[in-house]
Amino acid sequence: MAQPKVKVGDKIPDDLYFGILNNNEDNPRKITSHEVFKGKKVILFGIPGAFTSVCSSKHLPQFVQNFDKFKDKGINTIACTAVNDPYVLREWANTHKVESKVLMLSDGEMSFHSALGLTQHLPFSGERGLRFSMFIDDGVIKILNIEEPGPLSYKISGPENMLKLLEELEKK
């Protein structure tokens, strides 16, 4: 596992990229971090992999369930990233009936996770992303929750903790 290179107050580099694939598209397309974060309030959560146990039973479904609470807080976008290809993320989103509530950002080439030092090695899976969540305001990280390495760690990166931290941030 690389040491996280990112901290609260850092700006997400504009030139990182993801792959996205919507239901009406045949081929993935590239979207830059600048396009995702510039001028927006974004909740981004990262998972070790689509269709894995904690990611499928808790992390993604809980963010979908809390969609309205985040919108009420002025969040423009909730996004999920994983070291999976865009086709896998699209099918995973369809399986969980995500609809347009969560933007699925494929980091199959690990450009985002590697640049921010959010990687880990998992047995039988190879290099994957750490589980995390962050609040990004106009490209700047305002809240960052990084879980301990491992596929099952899930203590601080969920939506309930993020909503609590957003409340605290509003009070400052």
**Please, which pLDDT band fits residue 150 given cuts at 50, 70 and 90?**
confident
Beta bridge partners of 80: 45, 104
Residue 7 in domain: no
Residue 45 in domain: yes
* Residues assigned a catalytic role: 55
- Give the range of the structural domain holding residue 84, as residue numbers without chain letter: 17-22+33-171
How far is C-alpha 61 from the chain's CA centre?
A: 13
- Phi, psi (rounded to 5 degrees) for 136: -120, 120
* pLDDT attached to residue 3: 67
d(CA 117, CA 10): 13
Residue 5 in domain: no
Residue 116 in domain: yes
Residue 133 in domain: yes
Which of 3-7, 22-26, 136-140 has the highest average model confidence (pLDDT)? Answer: 136-140
Residue 165 in domain: yes
| SS3 assignment, position 17 | strand
Residue 12 in domain: no
d(CA 157, CA 16): 22
Residue 55's CATH number: 3.40.30.10
pLDDT tens per residue, range 15-55: 999 999 999 899 999 999 999 999 999 999 999 989 988 88
Residue 28 in domain: no
The pTM assigned to this predicted structure is 0.94
